[in-house]
Structure 1
Amino acid sequence: MQTPDTDIRTAEHPDTRPPLPRLTEGQLTPGGLSALPSVPPPALGVVRRAAHLPRASWDRLAGPDDAYLATRWLDVAEDTSGAAMRYLTLTDAEGLTGALATAVADADAPWLAGRPDTVLRLCAEEGRQGARELAADLPGDLADALLPGLVCGGRHLGRTTLLSRDGHDGQDGTGDRLLAAAERLAEEEGLRSVAFLHVDEHDTALRTLLARRGYRSFHSEGYHWLPVPQGGFAEYLAGFSAHRRRRIGAERRAVRDAGVQIAMAPLDPADIPRFAELEATLLGKYGMSAWTPARSAAILERALGACGPDALAATARLDGEIIGFALIVVHHDRWFAHRAGFDYAAQRGLPLYFELLFYHLVDAAARAGATVIHYGTGSGAAKTSRGCLGSGQYAYLRTASFG
């Protein structure tokens, strides 16, 4: 069920903290900022490669729902997004107390749904809350006003956030220090904006921090997930109305009667070229004509290398040919539906999307002991119609134009 949208407006209290010292790679800030009389604050550092992070300490901060902020996925994002990554860390005697993953977005970045200019433009065109007003207050072309920019919270869509041992609103000021460091980093590198593009509406501590620091917000997307019933598909089906149950039954019969075979197995390197073709077809259908199978193949290969047996593939085959797939990333007891693709000509109108990504997946997830399937952003109506819960995502922007 979609939670009602709320919007935390920019606070009227500007940030009056003294500026942070200049940040350089590996540099630790002195203990003067926000220092307590007897206990020095966590030291701030900047790391430019995920391989150089204190990985075990970082991954302890990333919870079960933070698959895309775990270090193994940061490796994937680094190697496939074409973006310069920066990782801000706060460290005390016990290890990391806070962390923030960032990426530099420029006009050549192909990931349009993760760039502040294209996200704002599309949301303004769709009339999403706050987007038109914010776009109107920016001078000239949005790309010129916002790029290059520092995208914070991870190079993924949905639930972008910072990591903190004691919560974003802890008394140690972790969130404030990380945000101040990100802003100084952007300033030093000549970037025109700092942005969190998909902050969950329930991440109220971070939203309050961002508003207090002068960021302006707009509604950017919806995020969806499905609690996995222990009873698998039978229990899942029982949760729908009689009308919906009949429709789901008809959809499953249509797939079965067409001779389509659905299976779940670890990602097989031999299937990657076909998966890449299918994903490029799907993205082309939604206007991303510049996306190539080679780019999809590179991401799939890197995901397999990073995740190993935690990279699963749901496949639909007709007469031995793969006509649909979904890549599932396993993280703790959560499954993340990460990528998909379909042969629209071969499927002949069959409801493969629902069979592959919901009906079969729910059963497989229950058997594996998974508790949640994350479906991420986009296609909100379709996901909600098949039992997903949802929450609003909000973009937060800060530029020199906003003071």
Structure 2
Amino acid sequence: MSTDIHRAGDMDAVAGRWSPLARTLHALPNWLRAAESRDGGERHYTVFDGPDGPRGGLVARLMGEDGRFRDNPLAQLVRPDSAMRRFLAPEERRRLAAHAERLAAAGDRLYPALVSVLPGGCLPGLLRGPAVDAGVVGELLDELRSLAAERGAGTTAVMHVPEADTELRGALAGRGYVPFVSVGDCVLSVAWKDFEGYLAGLRGPRPTRVRREIRGFEESGAQLRETTPDALGRRHAELHLAHLRRNGQEADFDGSLGLIESIRRHPTGRGRVLEAWRGDTLAGFVVFHDVHGVFHPTLIGVGPQEEKAFTHVNLCYYGLIRIAVAEGARSVVYGPESYDAKAFRGCAPERRISHLRVPEELREAVFGAAALVDAGNRRRLSSYAWQDPGGNG
């Protein structure tokens, strides 16, 4: 097929061609622009244009050892998550440590890594056009390989491929990529006529606890109100910082304010903000994006004294669910981690498979480590009381 290839180091240069490929929040041009301004680093975009429009696109970035853990496949093998390790037997942990030690010693041959991922999301950075085009996957992977060689990358990776995407997973396997389950992307499918229908669909004692948490929020004197990202300011940054620190993350006010300013500068999808007010005091907020009827909560801030009022769950779960039901949204994508809370409130996990290709002399160690991390993450995801026991969790 005749194809024009367009390459660029920033989204502005290819945005017009890229936009028809972007069907999810984290692939939208403004989301990628925000990631460029926030994270820095070298990025690479490629768009394959066909006679009827763009056939496929690729975004990838070079990453060192300090790359964000969730998007760094080598870090997940060398410094495996402690929550995952608890699901490995002692002998498996010993073997994983031995593989990790060998890989850590070979860092100069493994880094930099060229990683294809949509920043901030749980999807790969390889996009396919709306028309069926069996050849474009191979062309995108060939482009990634060529780019890795050009940039001197020791490792090439495609992160967070949906388990159901057998076409891409098969193409990666055929090119020698080693797979492992990296995360579970938690999704709440909206299938009720009203909020009472949501409660009725929860199993066991869950509806009783949910009603108690809603009542506690209301009795605290708090109310939910919706506004727009233009209303975000310093108070929101303070609440975001408090939320991060409460969860044990190192953070500072300037970083939180920078995130908020980035959201305002780069409007993405239908950006919305749900706030919790108690009188004249802003107690919490959640930024969410509505993209084709799918809600994506992306930024949360809750005051340090709000636990007893259940402000967090009323904002991020019950408040969003009420809006989603009222507007006929298809789903709410809650992302990875905090699996227990998400399972309790009705989410189902969609496993994401990450793939990496390394120098041949290190493939055995990578294969061994990846198999163990895969087993641990699968067991971990299966350990939660997901609402849909027949789902892929």
- How would you bin the TM-score normalised by the shorter chain? 0.7 to 0.9
- CA distance in structure 1 between the partners assigned to 2:277 and 2:120 by the alignment: 29
- CA distance in structure 1 between the partners assigned to 2:363 and 2:229 by the alignment: 46
Q: Which moved more, 1:232-241 or 1:90-99?
A: 232-241
For 1:183, what is the secondary structure of its paired residue? helix
- CA distance in structure 2 between the partners assigned to 1:330 and 1:307 by the alignment: 11
User: Using a 3 Å threshold, how does the CA distance of structure 1 residues 234 and 395 change in structure 2: closer, same or farther?
Assistant: same
Structure 2 gap ranges (5+): 365-393
Q: Deviations over 1:42-82 (max 9, x none)?
A: 23332111111152x4222222xx11011121111111112
Whichever structure has more helix as a proportion of its residues is: 2
- CA distance in structure 2 between the partners assigned to 1:80 and 1:212 by the alignment: 35
For 1:217, what is the secondary structure of its paired residue? strand
- The one-letter code matched in structure 2 to 1:105 is M
1:120 to 51, 54, 77: 77
Q: Which moved more, 1:224-233 or 1:66-75?
A: 224-233
Q: Deviations over 1:240-296 (max 9, x none)?
A: 236211111111111111112222221234x3322222223333334431x323222
Q: Deviations over 1:78-122 (max 9, x none)?
A: 11112221112211222210111112222454x333233333345
Structure 1 gap ranges (5+): 1-39
Is contact 1:103-1:155 (8 Å) kept? no
Equivalent residue number for residue 227 of structure 2: 265
- CA distance in structure 2 between the partners assigned to 1:145 and 1:300 by the alignment: 38
Is contact 2:30-2:268 (8 Å) kept? no
For 1:87, what is the secondary structure of its paired residue? strand
Is contact 1:266-1:311 (8 Å) kept? yes
Equivalent residue number for residue 255 of structure 1: 217
> Does residue 394 of structure 1 match 2:356?
no
Equivalent residue number for residue 347 of structure 1: 306
TM-score by length of 2: 0.82
- CA distance in structure 2 between the partners assigned to 1:176 and 1:309 by the alignment: 30
User: Using a 3 Å threshold, how does the CA distance of structure 1 residues 84 and 199 change in structure 2: closer, same or farther?
Assistant: same
User: Using a 3 Å threshold, how does the CA distance of structure 1 residues 231 and 356 change in structure 2: closer, same or farther?
Assistant: same
Equivalent residue number for residue 295 of structure 1: 255
Once the two structures are superposed, the pairs formed by residues 217-366 of structure 1 within 5 Å of their partners are 217-241=179-203, 243-269=205-231, 271-289=232-250, 291-307=251-267, 310-344=270-304, 346-366=305-325
- CA distance in structure 1 between the partners assigned to 2:98 and 2:276 by the alignment: 44
Equivalent residue number for residue 9 of structure 2: 48
1:216 to 161, 178, 184: 178
- The one-letter code matched in structure 2 to 1:393 is R
- CA distance in structure 2 between the partners assigned to 1:369 and 1:165 by the alignment: 27
- CA distance in structure 2 between the partners assigned to 1:156 and 1:59 by the alignment: 18
Equivalent residue number for residue 12 of structure 1: none
- The one-letter code matched in structure 2 to 1:45 is H
User: Using a 3 Å threshold, how does the CA distance of structure 1 residues 166 and 256 change in structure 2: closer, same or farther?
Assistant: closer
Equivalent residue number for residue 382 of structure 1: 341
Across the aligned residues of Structure 1 and Structure 2, the Cα RMSD in angstroms comes to: 2.7
User: Using a 3 Å threshold, how does the CA distance of structure 1 residues 144 and 293 change in structure 2: closer, same or farther?
Assistant: farther
For 1:139, what is the secondary structure of its paired residue? helix
Q: Deviations over 1:315-353 (max 9, x none)?
A: 222342222221101212111111212223x21433222
Is contact 1:123-1:220 (8 Å) kept? no
Once the two structures are superposed, the pairs formed by residues 128-277 of structure 1 within 5 Å of their partners are 132=96, 135-136=99-100, 139-141=103-105, 144-165=108-129, 170-171=133-134, 173-241=135-203, 243-269=205-231, 271-277=232-238
User: Using a 3 Å threshold, how does the CA distance of structure 1 residues 236 and 79 change in structure 2: closer, same or farther?
Assistant: same
Is contact 1:232-1:366 (8 Å) kept? yes
- CA distance in structure 2 between the partners assigned to 1:394 and 1:133 by the alignment: 21
- The one-letter code matched in structure 2 to 1:278 is L
Is contact 1:226-1:375 (8 Å) kept? yes
- CA distance in structure 2 between the partners assigned to 1:102 and 1:134 by the alignment: 30
> Does residue 77 of structure 1 match 2:38?
no
Aligned length: 355
TM-score by length of 1: 0.80
Structure 1's consecutive aligned runs of 4 or more residues displaced over 4 angstroms after TM superposition are: 128-131, 141-145
- The one-letter code matched in structure 2 to 1:322 is L
Q: Deviations over 1:146-174 (max 9, x none)?
A: 43221203222312241112678x43x21
- Percent of aligned pairs with the same residue? 25
Is contact 1:89-1:98 (8 Å) kept? yes
- CA distance in structure 1 between the partners assigned to 2:352 and 2:341 by the alignment: 17
- CA distance in structure 2 between the partners assigned to 1:124 and 1:209 by the alignment: 28
1:91 to 35, 42, 49: 49
User: Using a 3 Å threshold, how does the CA distance of structure 1 residues 146 and 340 change in structure 2: closer, same or farther?
Assistant: farther
- CA distance in structure 2 between the partners assigned to 1:320 and 1:309 by the alignment: 30
- The one-letter code matched in structure 1 to 2:146 is R
Is contact 1:113-1:157 (8 Å) kept? no
Equivalent residue number for residue 387 of structure 2: none
For 1:264, what is the secondary structure of its paired residue? strand
- CA distance in structure 2 between the partners assigned to 1:193 and 1:229 by the alignment: 42
- CA distance in structure 1 between the partners assigned to 2:248 and 2:191 by the alignment: 35
User: Using a 3 Å threshold, how does the CA distance of structure 1 residues 341 and 120 change in structure 2: closer, same or farther?
Assistant: farther
Q: Which moved more, 1:41-50 or 1:126-135?
A: 126-135
